[in-house]
Amino acid sequence: VIVGHIGKKKKIEVAKKAKKMKIPLQNLNIEKFLKELENKK
């Protein structure tokens, strides 16, 4: 699964769903991406 140019909110939703369903996203490191979001809050 490749995540293209989508909004940040949508990207977060997709990342969380993919993590739940254990689907690897080719161009998005889910763990790293979600960690960065937590750090920004």
CA distance 23 to 5: 19
> What is d(CA 25, CA 17) in angstroms, rounded to the nearest whole number?
11
Instruction: Supply the pTM of this predicted model.
Output: 0.47
Domain locations in the chain?
Answer: 8-40
Cβ atoms of 1 and 24 within 8 Å: the answer is: yes
> pLDDT category, 9, cuts 50, 70, 90?
confident
> Any idea of the CA torsion for 6, 32, 36, 21, to the nearest 10 degrees?
60
For 20-41, what is each residue's pLDDT tens digit? 877 776 766 777 877 877 777 6
**Quick one: CA dihedral 6, 12, 23, 17, positive or negative?**
negative
